[in-house]
Structure 1
Amino acid sequence: MELKGKIVVVTGASGGIGALSAQMAAERGAIPVLVARSEDKLKAIAGSLPGEYGMYRCDVGSSAEVEETFARIFGVYGRVDVLLNNAGFGRFALTPETGIDEYEMMMNVNYMGTVRCTKAVLPKMLEQGAGRIINVASMAGKIATAKSTAYSASKHAVLGFTNALRQELRGSGVTVSAVNPGPIDTEFFDIADPDGTYVKNLGGMIMKPSYVAKKIVGVMESGREEVDLPRWAAWAIRAYGMVPRLADRLTYKSMSRK
Structure 2
Amino acid sequence: MEREKNTAENPVALVTGTSSGFGLLTVLELARRGYVAVATMRDLRNSDELRLKAQEEGLERQIHYLKLDVTNAAEIEHAIAGTLKTYGRIDVLVNNAGFAIGGFTEEIPMEDWRLQFETNFFGLVAVTKAVLPSMRQKGRGCIINVGSISGLVGFPGYAPYAASKFAVEGFSESLRHELSGTGVKVVLVEPGSFRTPIWDKGLQNIRRQPASPYASRLEGVLRYSRKSAETAPDPVHVSRLIGRITAMSSPRLRYRLGQGSSLIIWGKILLPWNLLEWMIRKALGGR
Q: 1:220 is matched with which residue: 235, 241, 246?
A: 246
When residues 198 and 67 of structure 1 are mapped into structure 2, their CA distance, relative to the original with a 3 A threshold, is: farther
1:18 aligns with 2:46: no
1:178 aligns with 2:206: no
Distance 1:224 1:217 in 2: 14
Distance 2:233 2:113 in 1: 26
Distance 2:95 2:23 in 1: 9
CA RMSD of aligned residues (A): 2.2
Unaligned runs of 5+ in 2: 1-8, 207-221
Shift of 1:96: 2.0
Q: 2:43 is matched with which residue: 30, 38, 46?
A: 38
1:153-192 → structure 2 map (5 Å cutoff)? 153-192=163-202
Q: Is the 8 A contact 1:140 1:155 kept in 2?
A: yes
Tell me what 2:91 maps to.
81
Higher Rg: 2
Secondary structure at the aligned position of 1:211 is classed as helix
Secondary structure at the aligned position of 1:48 is classed as helix
Moved more, 185-194 or 86-95: 185-194
Tell me what 2:81 maps to.
71
Q: Is the 8 A contact 1:39 1:57 kept in 2?
A: yes
Distance 2:142 2:64 in 1: 18
Distance 2:228 2:107 in 1: 23
When residues 238 and 77 of structure 1 are mapped into structure 2, their CA distance, relative to the original with a 3 A threshold, is: same
Secondary structure at the aligned position of 2:125 is classed as helix
Q: Give the TM-score, by structure 1 length.
A: 0.91
When residues 11 and 42 of structure 1 are mapped into structure 2, their CA distance, relative to the original with a 3 A threshold, is: same
Tell me what 2:124 maps to.
114
Tell me what 1:202 maps to.
228
Q: Give the TM-score, by structure 2 length.
A: 0.82
Distance 2:246 2:88 in 1: 19
When residues 254 and 8 of structure 1 are mapped into structure 2, their CA distance, relative to the original with a 3 A threshold, is: farther
Q: Is the 8 A contact 1:182 1:207 kept in 2?
A: no
Secondary structure at the aligned position of 1:79 is classed as coil
Unaligned runs of 5+ in 1: none
Q: Is the 8 A contact 2:120 2:164 kept in 1?
A: yes
Moved more, 105-114 or 196-205: 196-205
Shift of 1:111: 0.3
Q: Is the 8 A contact 2:194 2:258 kept in 1?
A: no
Distance 2:234 2:50 in 1: 18
Secondary structure at the aligned position of 2:83 is classed as helix
Shift of 1:201: 2.5
Q: 1:240 is matched with which residue: 231, 253, 268?
A: 268
Q: Which amino acid aligns with 1:208?
A: D
Give the fraction of aligned pairs with identical amino acids, expressed as a percent.
Answer: 31
